[in-house]
Amino acid sequence: MPKFVIEREIPNIGELSDSEFRKIAQKSVDVLKAMGPEIQWLHSYVTGNKIYCVYLAPDEATIREHAAKGGFPANRVSAVRHMIDPTTAE
């Protein structure tokens, strides 16, 4: 299934508490369950003002549907073309 990176611009997101992150994650998981197994959230990286989320989904439209239903911004959705890591250099 295709992999996507979603950039979500949310001012001061990095300053939220663990309980606030838990609430956001619960909302996302509830929406995912309602949408079915065709979309999966793998993990997210939180910075000062953005969250970068990694998802598996059949297409960008499904990613954007999840964002709309959850009330999350999806400022940029990028399809992953390749993955590289230090072992790529070997």
pLDDT at 73: 97
Of the chain, the percentage scoring pLDDT greater than 90 comes to: 100
> Count H helices, E strands: the chain?
2, 4
CATH topology of domain 3-89: Alpha-Beta Plaits (3.30.70)
Match 């911004």 to its residue by tokens: 73
Residue 49 per-residue DSSP state: S
User: What are the residues whose beta carbons fall under 8 Å from the beta carbon of 76, sequence distance 6 or more?
Assistant: 6, 7
Domain ranges of the chain: 3-89
User: What are the residues whose beta carbons fall under 8 Å from the beta carbon of 46, sequence distance 6 or more?
Assistant: 13, 14, 21
Residue 15 per-residue DSSP state: G
**pTM for the model:** 0.92
Q: What is the pLDDT of residues 2-40, one digit of tens each?
A: 999 999 999 999 999 999 999 999 999 999 999 999 999
